[in-house]
Structure 1
Amino acid sequence: MRGNLYKLTLISVLAAICIVGRLAFQHLPNVQPVTAIIILSAYFLGPISGVMLAILTVYLTNITLGMGLWTIWQITAWSLIALLSAMLKKIPVIPPAYCLVPMAFGAGILYGFFFSVVNFVIAGRFWPYYLAGLPFDISHAVGNVIFIALLYRPLAKIFAQYHKKIKRLNNDRKWS
């Protein structure tokens, strides 16, 4: 029970960081720390944590930035990225730093591609929308790589402390 409380608290703090980061970087198109934090959180905490973080971040930031039909697609795209990031944990051969950087770059491209597919389904246009958005997708991808490079060590340390705390709680529970 206490382990769930710690995890919920950690996800809430990460959501607050994502919200502040997204609002602080809103003047730079498609450059914000949200994708990188979702990738790291899903990798270290699991897919459900990454999806919860995506939902909280999108909903709470879109209250300020504007709510619309795209809110559903933002949640879906970032949740998909969280699920893919969590799957990387299943490849134990590659060190996290080496697999998360390409994942971060690919996530920026995937995010834009996802919205192009949604646009195709709704409006019947794919290539014009995709090609027009490609510079923004590339800036998103490059921003993700920069944020992964900046946030990997501090967040990995926080996640390691969280896992130690949970392990200690579980051991205490066995002896109680």
Structure 2
Amino acid sequence: MNTYKLTLLALLAALAVVGRAVFVFLPNVQPVTALIIISGLLLGPLSAVILAILTTFLSNMILGMGIWTIWQIVSWGLIGILSGFLGKIPGRVPLPVLAIFAVFSGYLYGFIISLTMYSMVGEFWPYYLSSLPFDTYHAIGNGVFIFMLYPAIQYLFKKYANNRFHLQNTN
């Protein structure tokens, strides 16, 4: 891990924390999952997991810590690993495919977070079924954030990397 990647992760973490705090009034709509997916695609799975840990702890310092913090790290970390492997596929992944993956990630995140209820009270299905509307908000928000953020962040990363060094060799 070099200084360039650490700087990018710090900037992405700051963007994710601010984005999560700004969108707190919309239930489950925040750019964190989309930024973790973008980080996994462009910087690799390890960077995405580091971003997931940083974002979770920093944003939960503002929004509140609890048992869900561990499950958020697990959820976002798994999404980061999956997106990192998706980024290893040769060729450029089309934006609509990324949007579908982002929508899937919203439901995956909600499923894993619902396991929190099972670990605390032994009930999973009632909690999971009642959370599906919120998981849908998260999934739709992820798709929208991917369409908004991925082209801009990819352009900026590549523009800067071409001036400094080759981005793919830093994975």
When normalised by structure 2's length, the TM-score is: 0.91
Match of 1:43 in 2: 41
Deviations 1:14-43 (A, max 9, x none): 111001100000010100001001101111
CA distance in 2, matches of 1:127, 1:73: 17
SS in 1 for 2:165: helix
Unaligned runs of 5+ in 2: none
Equivalence for 2:73: 75
Give the structure 2 partner of residue 54 of structure 1. Answer: 52
Root mean square deviation, CA, Å:
1.8
CA distance in 2, matches of 1:124, 1:44: 39
**For the Cα contact (< 8 Å) 2:103–2:143, is it kept in 1?**
yes
Within 5 A, what are the aligned runs for 1:139-154? 139-154=137-152
Q: Where do 1:76-155 residues align within 5 Å?
A: 76-92=74-90, 95-155=93-153
Give, in whole Å, the separation in 2 of the partners of 1:83 and 1:135: 26
Q: Please identify the structure whose Cα radius of gyration is greater.
A: 1
User: Contact conserved, 1:45 with 1:159, CA < 8 A, in 2?
Assistant: no
Separation in 1, partners of 2:79, 2:114: 16
Counterpart in the other structure of 1:156: 154
The separation in 1 between residues aligned to 2:97 and 2:90, in whole angstroms, is 10
Deviation at 1:67, TM superposition (A): 0.9
Counterpart CA distance in 2 for 1:89 and 1:15 is: 19
Q: Which amino acid aligns with 1:148?
A: I
Give the gaps of 5 or more residues in structure 1.
171-176
- Residue 162 of structure 1 and its aligned partner are, at CA, apart by 4.4
Aligned pairs, number:
167
For residues 92 and 50 of structure 1, what CA distance do their matches in structure 2 show? Answer: 19
Residues 66-123 of structure 1: per-residue CA shift (max 9 Å, x gap): 0111111111110000001111123336634132111100000000111223322432
Give the equivalent residue in structure 1 for 2:62. Answer: 64
C-alpha deviations, 1:34-77, integer Å up to 9, x for none?
A: 10011011111001111111111110111110011111111111
The aligned residue for residue 174 of structure 1 is none
Give the corresponding residue for 2:20. 22
TM-score between the two structures when normalised by the length of structure 1: 0.88
Conserved 8 A contact 2:53-2:73: yes
CA distance in 2, matches of 1:72, 1:162: 34
